[in-house]
Amino acid sequence: MNYELVIGLETHVELSTDSKIFCSCGGHGKGSEPNDCVCPACSGMPGMLPVMNKRVVELAVTAGLMLNCEINRYTTFDKKNYYYPDLPCAYQITQLNHPICVNGLVSVKTADGVRDIRIKQIHMEEDAGKLVHGGNSSFVDFNRTSVPLIEIVTQPDFRSPEEVVSYLNKLKSSFIAGGISECEEGAMRCDVNISVRPAGEEKFGVRTEIKNMNSFDAIDKAIRYEAQRHIDALEYGTEELVQETRRFDDVSGKTFAMRNKETEADYRYFPDPNLMPIVIDDEWLEEIKAAKPVAVDERTEEYRAAGIKEDDIEIIIANVKIARLIDDVVSMGCNLKDTAIWVVTDCAGILKKAGKALSELDIAPEKLAAVIKMVANGDINRNAGKKVLIAVIENGVDPVSYCKENGLDKKFDASAVEEVIDRAIAANPQAVIDFKNGKQKAAQALFGACMKELRGAGDPAVIKELLEKKLSM
């Protein structure tokens, strides 16, 4: 029988704020030592009250706008009660009844085409601390407690692990571009809900949830393993499927039962009386909209319209630092397509020779713009431009003075090139005779000599043409 996979995702994303969600401790909760990024509020001391961080609301709304959500103008917080040693208050502040964003839509691309994934909601919440196990003891580190998160909940619209990974990649590049999250390792964590049903069947199968995965590779593997486990159970009766929470073990590549699935009632949610409802008025929403960065889809269209190759577009979209560099250079008057080629082909090539990736490119946009302009204006040829670029990337030189100092800008006038060719011919009478006797290679040797003297500054095509013309005379 053919089976269809049904997958829904809950993705927790740590927000890039300067402080935690309800206190003034540092945003990412990164202390130099365990428990040195905590205060009485986020370590749950009695009598301490939360104070909402406005920036968290703005970033959550921005994320919602990027994912085509409706923004709830009235949004409230609830307490989710459970006990665990990394949760000092024994409740988590989250949003159940009035989440900040609802009803979004994201289109994802896979080899099978484009599919729309519905976003059920985005809500704001605080992170928990971390347990560190060592020797015979367990330690608790509250640095991460109250770090702001958004949780993005999709409808069960995914039908394959490819769609899930494509969606996650899109979230990641959108959020980095939008300054919403750095999406570093561990800053994006996923719970995957998965069930299987006979193809064509409307009714959902028994659903299991795989908790807390943070690598896309692990998510892909976990879905494949779990789907097969469900199919085997349905097809061959290998086991009875129960609704439960499971964990994925990276080493064995298998999922294991953790606990029976909790229901909402288990958490005894109730509205948090310590936090006022937040009302997002028109003026505030307009401010947030005005500051919203361009979405990935719009970006892709813009690059396509400029004539940039699809492969190059993918590279730029996946690398926000590179996209920003290109933006900066273009804002200095360079052509978009031209700039993309210089970055994705030339800069990447230079870095590759040094064993580095394009993401490691460190160049001042002004300097890159200067190189591109000199070539575009015909002050130097592309070859010379590339030489300058190498010097800029490797030694941070000033491109304009580097050209002057190395004579790269002067060799372009035709008479100078002609002089060099004449000198080369005069110095190699034998080569001239060989050429006239039909030895094409002789011209190559002379061409090499000219290029060497011009230090690569001359236009190779012009030199070749002029040289052959003179040799044939």
Minimum gap (Å) between residue 18 Cβ and Zn ion? 13
Minimum gap (Å) between residue 127 Cβ and Zn ion? 12
Size of the site for Zn ion (CB under 5 A): 5
Minimum gap (Å) between residue 94 Cβ and Zn ion? 18
Q: Which is nearer to Zn ion, 72 or 143 (CB)?
A: 143
Q: Which is nearer to Zn ion, 145 or 160 (CB)?
A: 145
Q: Which is nearer to Zn ion, 129 or 178 (CB)?
A: 129
Interaction residues for Zn ion, span 338-397 (CB under 5 A): none
Minimum gap (Å) between residue 79 Cβ and Zn ion? 18
Interaction residues for Zn ion, span 135-164 (CB under 5 A): none
Interaction residues for Zn ion, span 169-208 (CB under 5 A): none
Q: Which is nearer to Zn ion, 20 or 299 (CB)?
A: 20
Q: Which is nearer to Zn ion, 35 or 428 (CB)?
A: 35
Minimum gap (Å) between residue 85 Cβ and Zn ion? 18
Minimum gap (Å) between residue 157 Cβ and Zn ion? 37
Q: Which is nearer to Zn ion, 26 or 271 (CB)?
A: 26
- Pattern of binders to Zn ion over 16-55, x per CB under 5 A? -------x-x-------------x-xx-------------
CB of 423 closer than 8 Å to CB of 416: no
Minimum gap (Å) between residue 38 Cβ and Zn ion? 6
Q: Which is nearer to Zn ion, 27 or 205 (CB)?
A: 27
Footprint of Zn ion (CB under 5 A): 23, 25, 39, 41-42
